[in-house]
Amino acid sequence: EVQLVESGGGLVQPGGSLRLSCAPSGFTFSDYEMNWVRQAPGKGLEWVSYISSSGRTIYYADSVKGRFTISRDNAKYSLFLQMNSLRAEDTAVYYCAREGRWPPNFDLWGQGTLVTVSS
């Protein structure tokens, strides 16, 4: 089955760290670019980060730049989001999303993992 499964969410104190993982299956992971998108409780969608299929090109939203790090291990079929210096406003469901080179769209999404930043 073609799917993405996120894990690693949980409750963390402000200033703390968390590492999210995304496990793809059913397709050749190294053929696709990947993104993280988040959704704060009751709010809309916010793009967080992008990584190219090779891992050489990376982009971040300004709201997380310098605090979050995206990475991937194509051999191990894994996508990661290392989140440091977490703030209350980072509280959200985090989705990983697959992006094809062409056409550019997010054609596959995971079920999401909830990150709660609170003391």
The residues that touch another protein, with contacts defined as CB under 8 A, are 35, 37, 44-47, 50, 59, 61-62, 95, 97, 103-107, 109-112
Q: How far is the CB of 56 from another protein (least distance, A)?
A: 14
| Cβ distance to another protein smaller for residue 35 or 53 | 35
| Cβ distance to another protein smaller for residue 77 or 109 | 109
| Cβ distance to another protein smaller for residue 42 or 76 | 42
Q: How far is the CB of 102 from another protein (least distance, A)?
A: 10
Among the listed residues 108, 31, 115, 105, the one whose alpha carbon sits nearest the alpha carbon of residue 81: 115
Phi-psi region of 75 (alpha: psi -120 to 50; beta: other; left: phi over 0): alpha
- DSSP code of 63? T
**Whole-number Å distance between alpha carbons of 81 and 70:** 5
Q: How far is the CB of 91 from another protein (least distance, A)?
A: 18
- Strand ranges inside 1-119, DSSP E: 3-7, 10-12, 18-25, 33-39, 45-51, 58-60, 68-73, 78-83, 92-99, 106-109, 113-117
Q: How far is the CB of 16 from another protein (least distance, A)?
A: 26
| Cβ distance to another protein smaller for residue 13 or 25 | 25
